[in-house]
Structure 1
Amino acid sequence: MTDSMVRCSDVAPEPLPGTAKRARVYVIFEWTGGWSHDVLDGGTFGPELTEKLKAHLDSYGASLQLIRHPTREGRQIKDHHLYLVFADEAVTEVLHVDGPGAILHLDLSGPGRNGAEEREKPLLLICTHAKRDACCAIKGRPLVMEMESMYPFAENGDVVWETSHTKGHRFAPSLLLIPWGYSFGRMNETATLAMLQAALAGEYFVPGNRGRGTLSPTGQVAEIAVARQLSQAGKPVRYGQFDVGDDAVVAIAGVATVGVTDIDTGDNYTVVLSARTVDGVISSCGAEPKQADVWEVESVTQIN
């Protein structure tokens, strides 16, 4: 790659909503060693353990994220943080283990099954996975260092981590907000700080929001559209406030209708989406531009 090459995150033909990393269960493991291109390709943990880890995670439909402290001093560890995240329930649990083999003994069928301590604070994971794509190091690394300086471990505990690939390095800096499983992209320092401050209070943050990974792309777009409308009207919005009728979505001739219920008020909304194709998407640095299908909001209607 040459310096004159356009980075994948330097072009922005796609809207952010509907592009979140899809997962309901996360295993988030502290690993201060090197991260290979895919952390489960055998280059990080070796072929034998990797195959066992993949089989165990797949049996629960769980996703693995590796994390590490952004400072050199913070990587001098005696044991490893291990977070279990159940995004549907918005529950995070934490264990301290001796190594990655401990993952093989986890019951990931739900919270409260591994003797772990439940955690109250959110986690902000910022992708710095350079071996996956250079954009994550170029744009993610300065951001995680800035956020860590504002929320240092010594004063605030383990709030901000750098993490492995979160899907969507073309949206770098790419962020994952736990326990709800929201992805964020194209975030600067000001927006990230505001998002984290809001998250610590459980407040929904719309700018840069790619959607909640427990939902389909249409569900992600619809939820963000309702949250944006309420936020613009000056109404408080929090994470976990919406029930999205994801399973009932039927897309006909490029149009999808999604029902969203505000659990706090009982209000129901119908969100109409339309599909279109955008040009010029560069999926990774060095890749040729291509087309991508996206969903956009046509209308948000309160129906009760």
Structure 2
Amino acid sequence: MVARAGRTRLWVLIEHPGPWPHSAPEGVLPSRLVDRIEAVTGHVRLVLIRRSRARTVERPRWVLAWSDGTRHWMREGTATGYDELADLPFDTCAAGIEPDTGLPCHTPLFAVCTHGKKDACCAELGRPIVSALSTIDGADVWECTHIGGDRFAANIVVLPDGLYFSRLGPESARAVVIEHRSGALSLDHLRGRAALSQPGQAAEHAVRSATGIVAVDALEYVSETPSAESVTIVELRIDSRTFRVAVRAGAPRPAFSHGCRSGGTVAWNDWIVDSLEELPIL
């Protein structure tokens, strides 16, 4: 599952108590709002969130979270209705410009996919995780719609960093959240950092695994250069150390059935690290 996080830099989270159909957020929010977000250029993802026991919402909460992998910000607010959210500055936010709208949010948000109409695994495996995380004092935990990777359920995305943690159970999810709140990443369940490309995600995971550097905020710089034979050269500075990693896509795996009751099939490739070297300090 390493390096399989869907590419996203701007996250648009909107509170909606459900029910969530298979198509959600489409078919739930006003079409003008959805169209506005879908028209934005860049890596943008719209996600519905809810508290597990909420049945109605008088003033829905919204969250805008952006990260390019090394920098990030998050803003939040409430609305009197969904229509007014279409006026949020999505275009400039997607470019990384933090708006004046709402209030800055410095507490990490943990979104757990429980979108059962999309894939039953997400509900069956995700909801026990929400219950387990609700016992952690101060953790901002929400259920959310599809965030990608049903076959890796249960899935958590941590914002504003855009970190995916997957193949979780109640106890491992608690450990991931507790570690993150203490400033550390759980590499065993880290699927990837959504702000980076998949080769970049593979490179970060490889460097952290090789060095044992797990500080959440240790990543300082990332650059990518295509090379011969579909190899991507990724340079990263992590904890003031610079590394060069050569990453390539492996051969496609055969399609296989996945999901608790979805009946769907999926095929994908692994990302292979050909080399990893630490560069000398100049």
The verdict on a shared fold, with TM-score over 0.5 as the criterion, is yes
Instruction: Name segments (4+ residues, structure 1) moved above 3 Å.
Output: 74-77, 280-284
Query: Which runs of no fewer than 5 residues in structure 1 stay unpaired?
Result: 1-15
| Code of the aligned partner of 1:36 | P
Does the Cα contact within 8 Å between 1:125 and 1:163 map onto a contact in 2?
A: yes
1:295 pairs, out of 265, 271, 279, with 271
Pick aligned residue for 1:179 from 160, 171, 192: 160
Counterpart amino acid of residue 106 in structure 1: L
- 1:73-112 CA-partner distances (Å, limit 9, x unpaired): x444331111110122321111011222122110131354
In structure 2, the residue matched to 1:5 is none
How big is the shift at 1:189? 2.1
Distance 2:220 2:151 in 1: 28
CA contact 2:18–2:55 (8 Å) conserved in 1: no
Within a 5 Å distance, the mapping from 1:87-106 to structure 2 comes to: 87-88=67-68, 89-106=71-88
Q: Is the 8 A contact 1:191 1:207 kept in 2?
A: no
Aligned equivalent of 1:70: 52
The answer on whether the counterparts of 2:75 and 2:104 sit within 8 Å (CA) in structure 1 is: yes
Distance 2:100 2:85 in 1: 11
Deviation at 1:17, TM superposition (A): 1.4
Match of 2:5 among 20, 36, 42: 20
The TM-score normalised by the length of structure 2 is 0.87
Map of 1:113 onto structure 2: 99
Q: Check the 8 A contact 1:259/1:269 in 2, yes or no.
A: yes
Q: Which residue of 2 aligns with 1:4?
A: none
Once the two structures are superposed, residues 124-159 of structure 1 have per-residue CA deviations (whole angstroms, 9 ceiling, x without a partner) of 1010001111110111111111111x13xxx52x61
Given residue 257 of structure 2, which amino acid in structure 1 is its aligned partner?
Answer: I
SS at match of 1:203: coil
1:197-241 deviation line (CA, Å, top 9, x unaligned)? 22223323312111111111101110111112221xxx4522352
Q: What amino acid is the match of 2:125? A: K
Q: 1:131 aligns with which of 90, 114, 117?
A: 117
Distance 2:13 2:126 in 1: 18
Q: How does 1:20-59 map to 2 (within 5 A)?
A: 20-41=5-26, 43-45=27-29, 49-59=30-40
Residues 129 and 163 in structure 1, CA contact (< 8 A), matched pair in contact too: yes
Instruction: Name the structure 1 match of 2:247.
Output: 273
CA distance in 2, matches of 1:38, 1:260: 38
Is the 8 Å Cα contact of residues 53 and 103 (structure 1) preserved in structure 2?
Answer: no
Please report how far the alpha carbon of residue 56 of structure 1 lies from its aligned counterpart in structure 2 after TM superposition: 3.7
Distance 1:177 1:170 in 2: 19
Q: Do the aligned partners of residues 281 and 243 (structure 1) sit closer, same or farther apart at CA in structure 2, a change above 3 Å counting?
A: farther
Q: Residue 253 of structure 2: SS of its match in structure 1? A: strand
CA, structure 1 residues 170+25, in 2 after alignment: closer, same or farther (shift >3 Å)? Answer: same
Letter matched to residue 136 of structure 1: C
Match of 1:7 in 2: none
Task: State how far apart, in whole Å, the 1-side matches of 2:258 and 2:7 are.
Answer: 17
Offset at residue 298 of structure 1 (A): 3.0
CA gap of 1:205–1:69, structure 2 versus 1, over 3 A, is same
Measured in 1, the distance between the counterparts of 2:38 and 2:77 equals 17
8 Å contact kept, 2:125–2:169: no
Alpha-carbon distance in 2 for matches of 1:51, 1:116: 21
Match of 1:256 in 2: 232
**C-alpha RMSD of the superposition:** 2.1
Greater length-normalized contact order (CA 8 Å, ≥ 6 residues apart) = 1
1:3 corresponds in structure 2 to none
* Aligned residue type for 1:215: L
Task: Tell me the amino acid that sits aligned with residue 15 of structure 2.
Answer: E
Cα distance between partner residues in 1 of 2:156 and 2:13? 14
SS of aligned partner of 1:20: coil
* Alignment check: 8 A CA contact 1:274 1:295 kept: yes
- Segments of 5+ residues of structure 2 without an aligned counterpart are none
Instruction: Tell me, yes or no, if the aligned pair for 1:127 and 1:165 is still in contact at 8 Å.
Output: yes
CA distance in 2, matches of 1:275, 1:23: 20
1:60 to partner: Cα distance? 4.7
Output the CA distance in 2 between the equivalents of 1:102 and 1:85.
19
Q: How far apart, CA to CA, are the structure 2 residues paired with 1:197 and 1:187?
A: 14
Which of 172, 176, 195 pairs up with 1:191? Answer: 172
Look up the SS of the partner of 1:124 in the other structure: strand
Count of residue pairs the alignment pairs up: 270
